[in-house]
Structure 1
C-alpha cells in the first residue's frame, strides 16, 4: 500500500512514525516546503518525489496535513479526479470539508484529537468511506463518528473552542506569576487541584502555542467563520492574543 503525505509537519511526521508496517510505503515531496520541513523529510528516510503530483499518482491513500489556509487549495490541486482515498486532517470548518468532498470521489473527513507528537493520539473519522481506514487501529486509536462528512470536524472545532481559549488564559496567568516572581508557587498551587502533572503539561501547552501561534490563529478563524456567533467573545479575544505572538 502506498500512502502520500501532503505536508510534512508534526502531523505527517508522527503518522509516519506510528504507522510502521512493511506493507505500507510512505511518500511525500519537498516541493514548495520550508527548509525546516525539508530537514525533517531528510531525517525521516521517507520516499521523496520531485512533486506532489508525482507522489499522488498510483497512491492508494492521500493524507492532507497542511495549514488550515492551504487545505482547500491543496484539495483542488490533488483531490480532483483522484480515485483513491483522500483524507483531510486539517483543522478547518465542516463547510470546508464538504467543499473538498465535492471535489473528491472517495473522501474521508479526519481530525487528530490529542497531542499529535504523542504515542497515543486518537484519529476521528467521518464519511461513508471512513470504515476503509479501520486498519489504522493497528497503529493508533481510530474512532468513526458517523458516515456524514463534517461530523469529525465539528467535534474538533468544539474541542478547539475550549483548548485554545484555555491555552491563552493559561499563558496570561503564567505571565502574571512571572512578573511577581512566583512561577513555581503558581504551578504548585494549581497542582493541588489539577494534578501532579499539571506543571509539565501546562509548560508544554504554552510552548506549543507559542511555536504554532499562526496555525492556531487560523484554526480560531475557522471556528468564528463556521459558528458565526456573536457570543464567542472568549474565542475572539484568544484570536487577538494569538495574533500578537
Structure 2
C-alpha cells in the first residue's frame, strides 16, 4: 500500500513515525517546497517523487495535511488524479469539506483531536470510504462517525465552540482572581471538582489562547458562520472576549 502526503508539517511527520509496516510505503514531493521543509523530508525514510501529481497518481491513500487556506486548491490541483481514498486532515469548515468532496473521488473527512504530535492520537473520520481506513487502528485510535462527508468537520466546530467558550470564562475568572490576589486559591477550589491537574491544564490553555487569540477568534467566527441559524449567545460572548485579548 502506498500512502501519499501533500504537506509535510507536524501531522505528516507524526503519521510517518506512527505507521510502521513493511506493507506500507510513504511518498511525497519537494515540489515548490521551502528548503527547510525539504531538509525535514530528508530526515525521514520516505520516497520523494518529482511532483505532487506523481504522488497523487501513485497513492492508494492520498492525505492532505497542508493548511485550511490551501485545502481546496490542493484538492482541485492534485485530488483529481487520485483514484484511491482522499483523506483531508485540515482544520476546515463543513462547507469547505463539501467543496473538496465535489473535486475528488472517495473523500474521507478527517480530524485529529488533541495534540497533532501525540504518540496515540484520536482521529475521527467520516465518509463512504471510511471503513477502508480501519486498518489504521493498528497504529493509533481511529473512529468512524458516519458515511456523511462533513460530519467530522461539524463535530470539530462544535468541539471548538465548547472549548473556546470555556476558555473565555476561565480567562475572565482568572483575571478577577489575580486582581484580588487569589489566583492560587482560585485554582485550588476548582481543582476539588475538576481534578488535581486542573491548574496546569488551565494555565497551559490560557497561555496558548493569549498567544493565538487571533486564530482562535477566526475559528469562533467559523462556528458562527456555520451554525448561524442558532443564537450562539455564549459563542459570540467568547468571541468578544478573544477580540479584547
Measured against the shorter chain, the TM-score band is 0.7 to 0.9
Q: CA deviation at 1:79?
A: 1.2
Query: Which residue does the alignment assign to 1:153?
Result: 153
Asked if residue 8 in structure 1 is aligned to residue 15 in structure 2, the reply is: no
- Which deviates further from its counterpart, 210-219 or 29-38? 29-38
What SS is found at the alignment partner of 1:86? strand
Residues 93-129 of structure 1: CA distance to partner in whole angstroms, max 9, x if unpaired?
2222121111111111112223333333221111110
Contact 2:57/2:83 (<8 A) preserved: no
Q: Which segments of 5 or more consecutive residues in structure 2 lack a partner in the other structure?
A: none
Q: Which segments of 5 or more consecutive residues in structure 1 lack a partner in the other structure?
A: none
Task: State how far apart, in whole Å, the 2-side matches of 1:103 and 1:139 are.
Answer: 29
Residue-pair matches, total: 245
Residues 126-154 of structure 1: CA distance to partner in whole angstroms, max 9, x if unpaired?
11100010000001111111112122222
Scaled by the length of structure 1, the TM-score of the pair is: 0.83
Scaled by the length of structure 2, the TM-score of the pair is: 0.83
Task: State how far apart, in whole Å, the 1-side matches of 2:109 and 2:96 are.
Answer: 10
RMSD: 2.9
- Which deviates further from its counterpart, 73-82 or 180-189? 180-189
Contact 1:97/1:150 (<8 A) preserved: yes
Task: State how far apart, in whole Å, the 2-side matches of 1:172 and 1:185 are.
Answer: 15
Query: Which residue does the alignment assign to 2:72?
Result: 72
Query: Which residue does the alignment assign to 2:201?
Result: 201
Relative to structure 1, is the Cα distance of residues 159 and 58 closer, same or farther in structure 2, using a 3 angstrom cutoff?
same
Relative to structure 1, is the Cα distance of residues 40 and 164 closer, same or farther in structure 2, using a 3 angstrom cutoff?
farther
Relative to structure 1, is the Cα distance of residues 131 and 30 closer, same or farther in structure 2, using a 3 angstrom cutoff?
same
Q: CA deviation at 1:201?
A: 1.9
